[in-house]
Structure formats: C-alpha cells, structure tokens
C-alpha cells in the first residue's frame, strides 16, 4: 500500500485488514452462507490464523479463553441465524466475567432484513443484554470504524464482549480503506469517572482514615486486580500494612498462593478461616470485585461489624449488592498509586516483620486468623492417607505437585469446567501467578473448559495447558477434540469421572433427601473417544498412578487425555447453604464414610 494512497477494498477485505491493524493474529470461527465473502477474503491475510471449530459455542469460548490467558482481545466469528445464536452462551459467559472479546457475525443482505429470510435472526436484539455494545453494519464503509470502535469498547473501562453483525451485501461492496481515518471516537468514560481522584479528594481522605484506624482489616481480591494489572500495587498495599488477603474465584492467582498474607478463596466453597475472617473484620477493602452472592452469603448478616471501602471501575457496581462506606471509582491500579504514597508504602516493598495496621499492631489479628486456619485444616481430606480410593481432590493436588516438582508451575494454565471439580481445583491447586486459572465464574458455563483451553493454548503456546472437567460438562463440547488434533495443540485433559453430575448430586444429597433425579450420567469410554480423534490417553483409578500418568501427559508434546475414575459420592466442603450466613459453613460430616475408612486404616 502506497503511503499516500488508500485502496478500494471489499467490505470483507476491510474486515480482515482492520482486524490485522488491531493486532489480531488468531480468529476462531465456523463458515456459512452469510459470512462466506469474509472467508473468501481470508486467503489475502496470511498474518491471521483461523481456527476451525466444531461448534460455534466452542468459537466463543475459545476467544474467551484466549483473552483470559493473554489479556488481549479474543475474536470469534459465525454465520447468520443458528451460527450466530450458538455464540450466545459464550457471549453471556464473557459478559458476566468482564472478558474483552469481539464476535463477528454474518447477516442476510440488507435488502431482506426483517423479512424472515433464510437463516435471518435479530442477533443484535438477542445479544443486547449480554454484550457491552453491538453493531449492525449494512455498508462497507462502516466496517472499519465499527471494528476499531468495538476493540476500544471491549478493552476500555470494565472490559466486555462486543458483537458486530455485518450484512452480506456490505461484505461484498467496495469502499476506500484507511485504518487511521477509521479511528474510533475519543473514549468517553462514565461521567463518574470524569471526577478524577487525587490525593486531596474527600473520598481518598475518608478511606485513609478508615484504613489507618482499622484493627481487623481484610482485602477482598477480585478479578479486577488482573484486569487492571494491579498485582504489584495490591501486594505493596497489603505488605505495607500487613493486611490479610481473601480472594474470589476469579481473583485466584492475582496474589501468589504462597504469599504469607494470602488466606485463600472466600465464599460458598471457600476456606472456613477466610470466611470467618471476613465476618469478624472491622474493615473490608474490596479491590475489583462485585460482591457476588456466592461470595457474600446472606447479605443481611454479611460482615456485620465492618466498614467497607469499594474500589471499582464500574460505578453501577457501587452499592448494588452491599452498601459501602467509601467508594473510590476508578481504575484499581491508579487508585492504589494515589493511596500508597500516603500510607508510606515503599516503592519496592518487602513485608516488614514488625508491621503495624495504622497505630495498631497487626500481629494479634494475623495470629487469630492463623489459629482458625490450623484448626480447620486438621480434617482436610488432602491430609488423609491413601486408603485405596481415588478422590478428585487428590488428583488435582497431585497435578499441582507434579507441575511444582517439574519447575513448570509458573508456566501452567489450568482451565476448568463448572461443578465440583472446579471448586476442588480452587481449593487444592495453588495458583502463584495471574491468568493461570481460566474458569467460568459468573455464568457457571458447563462445556467451557475444553474450547477455552484451545484459546488459552493458542494465546500461550509455550505454557502447559490443562483441562480439568467433569464427565458431564466434558461431553457438552467433546467434539472440539478434533479441533485440538487438527491444530496440533499439546493440551492435557483430566476428566474427573464420578458417574454423576457431581454438584447437582451433592445438592440433591443435601437438600433433596438423596433423590438423585437425572444426575447419574452414562459416559463413553473417554480414552477410546480421544483415540477416535487421534489423541492418546490413559485410565487412572489408583492414587499411585496419578503422578506418573500426569508426567507422561505433560511431557508427551502432544494432546493427552486422562480419565480419572474417582469416588462417586464425594462432596465439596466446606459449603454455605443458600440463605445462610457466610460463617455458617457446612463442613465434611464427622460420620462421612470416606473419612472413617481412611482413619480406620
């Protein structure tokens, strides 16, 4: 392209040129009639690799996993009608977890819009509640501006998915292409974000007073820490004042699990000492989290004696679920960089041995939490001897231990599905780095893991990527095994196979008098299924075989599936029942036959 010359391109070519201009190198998609002009033009753009999925839902989850693992915008595409509607679950998943993603859909010609033409559906109307924004493009000259603005919207402020629906005639028409002229309008943040915080802001001063006066503070570390890139600032803040840190599910990895101030996961299946600390706190510092119901338990009894400071980029989250005393609306990293100098935090912090919280010694509060932690850990299933039974918790713990022993922990990404195994992973795999856990939090999407792992591996090819999925969720998107094989991706797959929809079964056991209605599930031989796709695998039913097989999978350099046949009626504990307070946790029953068998032996 000459410097002073802007070429005439088809709308389809403009699309690919605009994606390349935004730095896109990988797109996940599935062709069809209304998007064929775009696929026809793909051959002219060799810098972009297209991954052919087996189902459009897989494309959306791959783009999601790509974004979570890399921090870049994920891109997926599908044709009109059913192709577009198959993206809906993935868009909703990304929306609830604030994932930057672009979905491009083909649409029938603008001349027949609204006529119920073949494979026509109002995808912008359907996705309005589950996208940050969406576009219907009917002219070739509007494609580049739509692409550029979509990327800006997806990654600015609170990230999220954006959908661009492009009619077939817009793809086929020609227009002048100029990437720079198509630049998006100046970003206009929410009006409340225009009120820039500074050292003398009243809310900053009020927050400092609460922080310096607190005797029992707790930091609530959410996904916003990772999205903001504020990991170092949060650690500096916590170390300067010796404030313990509790993590949400999506916040795991933002603060290393081995850090002495990291308590672990809070919430419905969080650690008992973490939830007790939150309930006993006199100050909660919510960093980039939204007080989801799985985190708070009964709102009426949530941390009743604490004052609350909420740092959040999305003003709509302030006081939505939990009333707070001070709200600091803005990017977390920027807000912490205002607070840190006024707290006397060093620029390169190391945890001081005699740190104080304000004028109060932090040691009693930390000692109180550690005592609670020690008591709760006594009956932890991971501490029990091998009694011949294989527990999912042991499998996940051994995957973590093998990665640690091999020196690969910092280069391992775990991608989970949704259910019991997801919670066991959060409890027993110790994440030491950001973006090392990819999981569906807000929507809880079964079938997420396998395609999301493809996206994660595409984004981080040098890292070890593990799928951890249940036998139920795995079957929802198992067709993507062929995508793994076609792409030659060395992805490791651990199927936690207990013959049930495990979390459904646990709820039926707890709340429905063990009426296991429609929760037992018949599965194929997963190793044979993998073999049918050209992927090697192994069955494991004994604890002694876990680590050697995990090592075999990790070092094979090829995709590998392990079917772990685990205890059928094991449960995830602790557990907070719906409507209960955060501290009213149900622990593993003392009469649990799994425990009694182990202790007897």
Q: What is the dihedral of CA 79, 82, 86, 92, to 10 degrees?
A: 90
Cβ-contact 159, 150 below 8 angstroms: no
Which is the catalytic residue, given 119, 206, 485, 565? 119
Computed on alpha carbons and rounded to an integer, the radius of gyration of the chain in Å comes to: 25
Of 382, 367, 403, the residue nearest 570 (C-alpha): 382
Buried/exposed code over 44-67 (b: 16+ C-beta within 10 A; e: otherwise): ebeebebbebbbbbbbbbbbbbbb
Cα distance between residue 76 and residue 28, in whole Å: 5
349-357 LR contacts (CB < 8 Å, sep 24+): 349/235, 349/236, 349/239, 349/240, 350/239, 351/239, 351/242, 351/260, 351/261, 352/239, 352/242, 355/239, 355/240, 355/241, 355/242, 356/241, 356/242, 357/212, 357/214, 357/215, 357/217, 357/241, 357/242, 357/243
3-state percent helix, strand, coil for the chain, nearest multiple of 5: 45, 20, 40
Cα distance between residue 524 and residue 191, in whole Å: 54
Which is the catalytic residue, given 13, 22, 56, 227? 56
Cβ-contact 218, 276 below 8 angstroms: no
Residue 446: active-site member: no
Which is the catalytic residue, given 77, 95, 265, 503? 503
Residue 402: active-site member: no
Residue 101: active-site member: no
Residue 289: active-site member: no
Cα distance between residue 450 and residue 424, in whole Å: 18
Secondary element (H or E) of residue 538: strand 536-540
Secondary element (H or E) of residue 583: none
Residue 118: active-site member: yes
Which is the catalytic residue, given 62, 107, 149, 168? 168
Which is the catalytic residue, given 8, 118, 195, 320? 118
Active site residues per annotation: 56, 118-119, 168, 503
């Amino acid at each position: 392209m000459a410097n002073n010359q802007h070429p005439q391109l088809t709308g389809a070519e403009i699309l690919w040129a605009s994606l390349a201009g935004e730095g896109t190198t990988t797109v996940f998609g599935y062709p069809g009639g209304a998007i064929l002009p775009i696929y026809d033009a793909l051959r002219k753009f060799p810098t972009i690799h297209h991954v052919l999925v087996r189902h459009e839902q897989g494309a959306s989850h791959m783009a999601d996993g790509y974004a979570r693992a890399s921090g870049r915008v994920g891109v997926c595409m599908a044709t009109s009608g059913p192709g577009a509607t198959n993206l809906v679950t993935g868009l909703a998943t990304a929306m609830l977890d604030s994932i930057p993603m672009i979905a491009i859909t083909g649409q029938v010609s603008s001349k027949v819009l609204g006529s119920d033409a073949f494979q026509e559906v109002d995808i912008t109307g359907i996705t309005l509640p589950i996208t940050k924004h969406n576009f219907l493009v009917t002219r070739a000259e509007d494609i580049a501006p739509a692409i550029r603005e979509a990327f800006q919207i997806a990654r600015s402020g609170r990230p999220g998915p954006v959908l661009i629906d492009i009619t077939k005639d817009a793809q086929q028409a020609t227009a002048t292409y100029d990437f720079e002229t198509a630049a998006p309008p100046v970003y206009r943040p929410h009006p409340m974000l225009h009120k820039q915080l500074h050292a003398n802001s009243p809310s900053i001063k009020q927050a400092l007073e609460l922080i310096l006066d607190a005797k029992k503070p707790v930091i609530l570390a959410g996904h916003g820490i990772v999205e903001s890139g504020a990991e170092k600032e949060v650690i500096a803040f916590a170390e300067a004042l010796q404030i313990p840190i509790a993590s949400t599910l999506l916040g795991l990895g933002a603060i290393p699990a081995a850090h002495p101030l990291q308590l672990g996961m809070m919430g419905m299946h969080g650690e008992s000492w973490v939830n007790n600390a939150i309930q006993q706190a006199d100050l909660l510092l919510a960093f980039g989290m939204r007080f989801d119901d799985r985190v708070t338990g009964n709102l009426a009894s949530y941390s009743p004696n604490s004052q609350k400071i909420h740092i959040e980029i999305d003003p709509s989250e302030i006081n939505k679920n939990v009333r707070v005393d001070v709200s600091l609306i803005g990017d977390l990293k920027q807000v912490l960089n205002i607070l840190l100098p006024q707290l006397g935090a060093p620029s390169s912090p190391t945890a001081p041995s005699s740190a104080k919280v304000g004028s109060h010694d932090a040691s009693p509060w930390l000692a109180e939490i550690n005592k609670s932690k020690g008591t709760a850990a006594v009956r932890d299933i991971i501490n029990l001897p091998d009694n011949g039974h294989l527990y999912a918790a042991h499998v996940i713990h051994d995957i973590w231990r093998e990665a640690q022993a091999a020196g690969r922990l910092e280069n391992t990404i775990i991608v989970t599905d949704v259910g019991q195994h997801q919670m066991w992973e959060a409890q027993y795999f110790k994440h030491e780095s950001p973006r090392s856990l990819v999981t569906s939090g807000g929507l809880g999407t079964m079938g997420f893991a396998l395609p999301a792992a493809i996206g994660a591996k595409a984004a981080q090819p040098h890292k070890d990527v593990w799928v951890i999925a249940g036998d139920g969720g795995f079957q929802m998107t198992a067709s993507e095994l062929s995508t793994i094989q076609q792409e030659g991706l060395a992805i490791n797959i651990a199927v936690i196979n207990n013959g049930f929809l495990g979390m459904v079964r646990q709820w039926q056991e707890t709340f429905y008098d063990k009426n296991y209605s429609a929760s037992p599930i018949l599965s194929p031989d997963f190793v044979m299924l993998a073999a049918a796709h050209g992927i090697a695998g192994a069955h494991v039913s004994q604890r002694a075989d876990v680590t050697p097989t995990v090592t075999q999978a990790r070092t094979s350099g090829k995709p590998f599936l392990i079917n772990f046949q685990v205890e059928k009626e094991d449960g995830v504990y602790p557990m907070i029942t719906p409507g209960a307070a955060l501290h009213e946790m149900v622990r593993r029953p003392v009469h649990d036959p799994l425990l009694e068998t182990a202790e007897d032996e």
